[in-house]
């Protein structure tokens, strides 16, 4: 596909963005369209943001009506949509378990949600146990954002090293290793932050055994357990929270990506005992939780907090897993599908030319009208809108099969089982 855009090949965005960005004009359902009218099946959903798809009149009408009424007041005041959404989120349960959420801090992005989470963990530790309890634990291959605090909790040196020194007191441990966790975690830790599915780290799933170790050891050492559900929350795994799938019992949950249907909004859900330790001015956000984004988020929440909707997601996820398993059986260099729900990955076995091969897969897919993502160094990440149909899943997997055939021919000898 050849896109025609006045900005193709050059733009005034920073050099940390790609030189030749695809310029999207509009979207409809699970499809995106460029200025030339080429259409793309979006199996990345804006990096798991557009969970309900594109071109939704219900979300647009709510946003437009609220914008005509009131756009912004700052957090010196509040609005009815803000209060209503905070109430709904505070009442959320993780499966059958009631986490006793008492309050919600609103921000604008997943990184902000995680910044708020670790700030609340530290302020709780300081006021409850003294200043020596300040360390923060995260895990190998985890990713929690690109602001300085969230970046400090991200293990991958590729992200961290250009910006060091970062926030002190951050420690990393192996993921899914209960014995290592027991060795590392002690009374000096204020909090532990973890993903149930490592969205940027190869789509590794947390084991139930590791979740139980986290629950037990955080309780023993009085460390705040933070579930980073920025990418996995709000239906992505076929459950309202991915924590439900492994019986994780967090004190804080961070949400963002799909929360406001594509508008920037994050929410940090905090338990009652943490909220009781907060003082006026401990944290804030000028734009977070404005009336427009929260009004739209109320509609998103109404849709995703529904057992029938979540059952449909699980059904589609099962179909996607089946189609990806067929690709694994067909191509020797494709590993077992990983991930959970409609956050899935296909590992690619390759040698020294792995980076070139992954780039070729993503570029070839785009040229054939399919948008997919990468997770870690060698995993094709698939995170479509949750409203994708089985037929659209079939179409996407058929395109991906053609792409893998082409790449196999191009890189013959560089791929392995």
The confidence score (pLDDT) of residue 116 equals 97
**How deeply is 233 buried, as exposed, middle or buried, from its count of CB atoms within 10 A (0-12, 13-18, 19+)?**
buried
CA 405, CA 401: separation in Å to the nearest integer?
Answer: 6
The confidence score (pLDDT) of residue 20 equals 73
The confidence score (pLDDT) of residue 238 equals 98
> What Cα–Cα distance (Å) separates residue 98 from each residue in 192, 262, 264?
20, 28, 27
Q: What is the DSSP string of 347-397?
A: EB-BSTTHHHHHHHHHHHHHHTTEE-EEETTTEEEE---TT--HHHHHHHH
CA 186, CA 229: separation in Å to the nearest integer?
Answer: 24
The confidence score (pLDDT) of residue 260 equals 98
CA 98 to chain centre: 23
Contacts 24+ apart (CB under 8 A), 390-394: 390/316, 390/319, 392/30, 392/41, 393/316, 393/319, 393/320, 393/323, 394/323
Domains, the chain: 24-56+307-410 (3.90.1150.10), 70-304 (3.40.640.10)
pLDDT in tens, 84-139: 999 999 999 999 999 999 999 999 999 999 999 999 999 999 999 988 999 999 99
Q: Which structure tokens are listed for 290?
A: 């404005």
Average pLDDT, the chain: 95
The confidence score (pLDDT) of residue 351 equals 81
The confidence score (pLDDT) of residue 1 equals 64
Which residue ranges of the chain lie beneath pLDDT 70? 1-10, 19, 417
Within 10 Å of residue 275's Cβ, how many Cβ atoms? 17
The confidence score (pLDDT) of residue 2 equals 54
- What are the residue ranges of helices labelled H in 70-142? 80-90, 110-129
The confidence score (pLDDT) of residue 310 equals 99
CA 102, CA 332: separation in Å to the nearest integer?
Answer: 50
Q: Are 159 and 170 in contact (CB under 8 A)?
A: no
The confidence score (pLDDT) of residue 5 equals 55
- What are the residue ranges of helices labelled H in 91-207? 110-129, 148-152, 157-160, 178-184
> CA dihedral in degrees (111, 113, 118, 124; nearest 10)?
160
């Amino acid at each position: 596909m050849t896109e025609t855009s006045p900005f193709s090949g050059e733009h005034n965005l920073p050099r940390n963005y790609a030189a030749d960005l695809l310029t999207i004009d509009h979207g409809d359902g699970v499809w995106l369209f460029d200025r030339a009218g080429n259409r793309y099946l979006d199996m990345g959903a804006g990096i798991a943001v557009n969970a309900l798809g594109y071109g939704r009149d219900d979300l647009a009408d709510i946003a437009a009506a609220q914008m005509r009424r009131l756009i912004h007041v700052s957090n010196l005041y509040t609005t009815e949509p803000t209060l209503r959404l905070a109430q709904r989120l505070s009442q959320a349960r993780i499966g059958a378990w009631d986490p006793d959420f008492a309050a919600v801090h609103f921000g604008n992005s997943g990184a902000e949600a995680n910044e708020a989470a670790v700030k609340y963990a530290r302020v709780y530790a300081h006021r409850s146990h003294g200043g020596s309890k300040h360390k923060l634990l995260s895990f190998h291959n985890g990713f929690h954002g690109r602001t300085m605090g969230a970046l400090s909790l991200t293990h991958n040196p590729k992200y961290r090293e250009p910006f060091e020194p970062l926030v002190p007191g951050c420690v990393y441990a192996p993921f899914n290793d209960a014995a290592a966790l027991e060795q590392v975690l002690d009374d000096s830790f204020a909090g532990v932050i973890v993903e149930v599915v490592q969205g940027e780290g190869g789509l590794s799933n947390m084991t139930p055994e590791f979740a139980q170790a986290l629950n037990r050891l955080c309780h023993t050492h009085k460390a705040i357990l933070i579930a980073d559900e920025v990418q996995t929350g709000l239906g992505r795994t076929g459950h309202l929270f991915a924590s439900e799938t492994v019986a994780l019992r967090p004190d804080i949950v961070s949400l963002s990506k799909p929360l406001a249907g594509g508008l920037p909004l994050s929410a940090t859900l905090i338990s009652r005992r943490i909220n009781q330790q907060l003082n006026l001015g401990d944290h804030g956000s000028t734009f977070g939780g404005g009336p427009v984004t929260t009004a739209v988020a109320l509609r998103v929440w109404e849709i995703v907090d529904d057992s029938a909707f979540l059952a449909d997601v699980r059904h589609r996820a099962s179909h996607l897993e089946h189609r990806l398993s067929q690709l694994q059986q067909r191509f020797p260099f494709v590993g077992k599908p990983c991930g959970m729900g409609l956050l899935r990955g296909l590992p690619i076995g390759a040698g020294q030319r792995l980076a070139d091969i992954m780039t070729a897969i993503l570029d070839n897919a785009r040229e054939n009208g399919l948008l997919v993502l990468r997770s870690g160094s060698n995993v094709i990440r698939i995170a479509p809108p949750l409203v994708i149909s089985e037929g659209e899943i079939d179409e996407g997997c058929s395109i991906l099969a053609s792409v893998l055939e082409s790449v196999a021919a191009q890189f013959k000898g560089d791929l392995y089982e």
